[in-house]
Amino acid sequence: MLDTSRGDAPVPAEAPAPSEESRGCLFALSQPPLMIFLGLIGFLLLLAAMHDLFLL
């Protein structure tokens, strides 16, 4: 644990080099099944909003 009671800024430890397995969320968003699912959810929300605005 870092001792910050003296008001000193914590000194970060050296970060390990990123391995090939560690990928961020931008990699996850590039996957086609996830984007199809998110697109479908967005389309359903848009459809519900258009129904509320124009038909009710």
**pLDDT tens profile 1-56:** 555 566 666 666 676 666 666 777 788 778 899 999 999 999 999 999 999 999 87
* pLDDT at residue 45, as a whole number: 98
* pLDDT at residue 31, as a whole number: 87
* pLDDT at residue 27, as a whole number: 81
- Angle ∠(26,36,24) on CA atoms, nearest 5: 15
* pLDDT at residue 38, as a whole number: 94
* DSSP annotation string for 1-56: ----TT-PPP-PPPPPPP-SS---HHHHHT-HHHHHHHHHHHHHHHHHHHHHHHT-
